[in-house]
Amino acid sequence: MTKSNEFSQLDAPLEVSTSPALRFEVFARCSTTKARASKMHLPHYTAHTPMFMPVGTMGSIKGITTKQLEALDCHVILGNTYHLGSRPGPELLEKAGGLHKFMAWNRSLLTDSGGFQMVSLLRLANITEEGVEFENPHDGKKMMLTPEMSIGLQNAIGADIMMQLDDVVSSLTVGPRVEEAMQRSVRWLDRSIKAHKRPTEQNLFPIVQGGLDERLRTISAQELVKRDSPGYAIGGLSGGEAKGSFWRMVSLSTDILPTNKPRYCMGVGYAEDLVVCSALGVDMYDCVFPTRTARFGNALVRTGSLSLRQGKYKDDFTPIDKDCDCSTCTNYTRAYLHNSVAKETTGCHLVTIHNIAFQMRLMCDIRRAIICNRFPAFIRDFMKTRFGTTAPFWIVDSLKSVNVDLTVPDETGYSVTPIEDDFQKEPNW
């Protein structure tokens, strides 16, 4: 893939924020939506936003080398603090000089706090003001993860961006537990800031919480802004909640968070979500979906995805996507991939390359559309290809909130009819 250079014709940024280990420059704003295109200067690389970050749980993406990731023009990849803290462990990473050197990655890294894994993957014993007590899956012993421990692990890992440990609750949780978790997360943020030993080399992002409660989300975002962090994350979503609630919480958060700081919506990776959330003012995303679905033989395209295991592809000698210049689409056919994804890992690795390339190209197209001030037209073209003449209500409503009304015909006569489904697998013509 060609390295993105969409900012080459722009001179001075419109807005800037400078922190010891991060400089964020907003170069273009959409005149209709809340979207913006920016450069985020980090210790190891200058990332272009809006951007998608592939997830490398253990410091690697299955079947993909760091050189291949560079060739795909990935600017930042995400590592998992819990898993990296267990293996290879902080002592070895410190001896290696940090995760960048250990995995031979010269660009930027972001690490999560490990808190989500405590809740979602492990048998929880207890959450207290001290931290998260859990059962170690390797030996069954009770362990405690505190904000200080999480930051210590992330300081050893050496990522450009670290996340605070937050009190994670399901997005479907209601009642007093949601407010308790939100308020505790703010207190844990203050402990994380105090424990951070490398503020001139690593950035600590706090996480907006509050479930689906507008009042709690507002309080959380306002409290975090008081800390004047290098950037901010929007967490506690993409957990099975209705998409109508999801987008409203994202938009509420971006309305409060500073306009001159990066905004990171955690756990978002579906193509339509990336387009919508960029219109709502988000700059950064991560999700396991593109790489995980590739391991099941599913290739991402603008109309949705192709299940290459299906028999209809056994004698299809076209590439996954004729407009994609990744090494998979340049060299392999759907027929070859159909034959290999079901029988060996090579096919899954090739689809992984394509899916990452798809995400990178989509984000580059979004940035270019914002810079050229044609993002609303891009949104319409994307939705027309992705959905056809019907689209989920939540997409129509979210875009209408930022002045893009898909129900009103454009100059070509294209418009959509809203439907109740949160997800629509194939375009409906």
Predicted confidence pLDDT, tens digits, the chain (429 residues): 656 788 988 889 999 999 999 999 999 999 999 999 999 999 999 999 999 999 986 777 888 999 999 999 999 999 988 778 777 888 888 888 999 999 999 999 999 987 776 666 555 557 899 998 877 666 777 778 899 999 999 999 999 999 999 998 888 889 999 999 999 999 999 999 999 999 999 999 999 999 999 999 999 999 999 999 999 999 999 889 999 999 999 999 999 999 999 999 999 999 999 999 999 999 999 999 999 999 999 999 999 999 999 999 999 999 999 999 999 999 999 999 999 997 889 999 999 999 999 999 999 999 999 999 999 999 999 999 999 999 999 999 999 999 999 999 999 999 999 999 888 877 876
Distance CA 42, CA 205 (A): 13
For the chain, what's the residue count? 429
Q: Provide, for the chain, the percentages of residues in helix, strand and coil under a 3-state DSSP scheme, each rounded to the nearest 5.
A: 40, 20, 40
Phi then psi dihedrals of residue 56, to 5 deg: -115, 85
Q: How far apart are CA 288 and CA 276, in angstroms?
A: 19
Short-list 152, 120, 119, CA closest to 133 = 119
Q: Which residue is it, tokens 């339509």? A: 272
Q: Tell me the C-alpha distance between 319 and 55, whole Å.
A: 25
The span from the CA of 127 to the CA of 141, in Å, is 16
Contacts of 308 (CB under 8 A, 6+ apart): 297, 298, 299, 320, 334, 337, 338, 341, 347, 351
Q: Quote the CA–CA distance of 284 and 206 in Å, as a whole number.
A: 14
Q: Does a cis peptide bond (omega within 30 degrees of 0) precede residue 392?
A: no
Beta strands in 63-170 (DSSP E): 76-79, 108-111, 124-127, 132-135, 142-145, 161-163
In this prediction, residue 3 carries a pLDDT of: 65
Backbone angles phi, psi at 294, to 5 degrees: -65, -35
Q: Where would I find the H helices in 158-198?
A: 176-195
Q: What is the pLDDT of residue 356?
A: 98
Residues 230, 24: Cα–Cα separation, whole Å: 9
pLDDT of the residue at 121: 57
Burial grade of 245 (CB within 10 A; 0-12, 13-18, 19 or more): middle
What distance in Å separates the CA atoms of residue 305 and residue 293, rounded to the nearest whole number?
9
Of 4, 35, 32, 79, the C-alpha closest to 251 is 35
Region of 363 please: left (phi>0), alpha (psi -120 to 50) or beta: alpha
pLDDT of residue 254: 98
In angstroms, the CA 306 to CA 185 distance is: 40
**Catalytic residue numbers, as ranges:** 112, 286
Count CB-CB contacts under 10 A for residue 288. Answer: 16
Q: What is the pTM of this model?
A: 0.96
Here the tokens at position 398 are 């979210």
Residue 142 has what pLDDT?
Answer: 78
* CA–CA dist 82, 115 (Å, integer): 8
